[in-house]
Amino acid sequence: MVEASSKFLLIVVGSVCFMLILYQYVAPGVINFGSPHGYFTEEDDGGDIFPSPDPHYVKKYYFPVRDLERTVEFEIKGEDVIVFLHIQKTGGTTFGRHLVQNVRLEVPCDCRPGQKKCTCYRPNRKETWLFSRFSTGWSCGLHADWTELKNCVPGVLDKKETRMKNERKFYYITLLRDPVSRYLSEWRHVQRGATWKTSLHMCDGRTPTPEELPACYEGSDWSGCTLQQFMDCPYNLANNRQVRMLADLSLVGCYNMSTVPEQRRSQLLLDSAKKNLRDMAFFGLTEYQRKTQFLFERTFRLRFIRPFMQYNSTRAAGVDLDNTTVCVCVCVCVYVYACVYACVCMCVCVCVCVAIWNMLSVITPGYCAVFHHILAVLGC
CA–CA separation, 298 vs 282, rounded Å?
10
CA–CA separation, 41 vs 21, rounded Å?
21
The DSSP letter of residue 324 is P
Confirm whether 143 is a catalytic residue.
Answer: yes
CA–CA separation, 253 vs 144, rounded Å?
18
Which secondary structure element, helix H or strand E, spans residue 344, and what is its range? helix 329-346
Sign of CA dihedral 11, 14, 16, 22: negative
Q: Of 37, 143, 189, 201, which is the active-site residue?
A: 143
3-state secondary structure labels for all residues of 128-174: ECEECCCCCCCCCCCCCCHHHHHHHHHHHHHHHCCCCCCCCEEEEEE
Interhelix angle 179-191/329-346, nearest 10 degrees: 120
Strand partners, 31: 39
The angle subtended at Cα 112 by Cα 108 and Cα 114, nearest 5°, is 150
CA–CA separation, 338 vs 270, rounded Å?
12
Burial of 99 (0-12, 13-18, 19+ CB in 10 A): buried
Say if residues 62 and 374 touch (Cβ distance below 8 Å). Answer: yes
Task: Catalogue the E-assigned strands of 67-124.
Answer: 80-85, 103-104, 121-122
Nearest to 334 by CA among 242, 198, 206: 242
The DSSP letter of residue 208 is P
CA–CA separation, 358 vs 1, rounded Å?
43
Say if residues 352 and 288 touch (Cβ distance below 8 Å). Answer: yes
> Catalytic amino acids?
143
